[in-house]
Structure 1
């Protein structure tokens, strides 16, 4: 899917309104630094994977905030393209 996220939490990686492509994770191995579409407190966000601990992923934005830990069930896809 493609969409244009709004907000400044990913500033420097994704600017507000840039077109992004998100694809299913599929067989990919998620890694620290990947940008994922995930569910946090009932809302969907694009966030960075900051750390991985077993089957848990610590997520946060690109301006220093850590949102906490989520499981794979809260990850909807991985950002594969950011268009200007």
Structure 2
């Protein structure tokens, strides 16, 4: 998710109750057989609109698809 988190940049994930995820959170979600780390753009009672920090939108996922939430972004090592 370029801009906020660069490719290959380590993060720490924490558990999260999917019902408390809100717009602005960065979450790991199950998406089309894979796992994606994405920004929550909008949140409704049942679904989350995920995308990146550069304006791209992937689409809506059910809240149950949330695996964890980013709790810390670590610096890239050069």
| TM-score for the superposition, normalised by structure 1 | 0.80
Assess, with a 3 A threshold, how the Cα gap between structure 1 residues 28 and 83 changes in structure 2: closer, same or farther: farther
Q: How many equivalent residue pairs?
A: 75
2:64 partner SS: helix
Shift of 1:27: 8.2
| Structure 1: tracts of 5 or more residues without a match | 1-9
Assess, with a 3 A threshold, how the Cα gap between structure 1 residues 61 and 20 changes in structure 2: closer, same or farther: same
CA RMSD across the alignment? 1.6
CA distance in 1 between partners of 2:48 and 2:8 (Å) = 26
1:12 aligns with 2:13: no
What corresponds to 1:21 in structure 2?
A: 12
Shift of 1:65: 1.3
Q: Which has the higher contact order (CA 8 A, sep 6+)?
A: 2
Q: Is the 8 A contact 2:29 2:67 kept in 1?
A: yes
Shift of 1:57: 0.6
Report matched runs for 1:3-82 at 5 Å: 10-26=1-17, 29-82=20-73
| TM-score for the superposition, normalised by structure 2 | 0.86
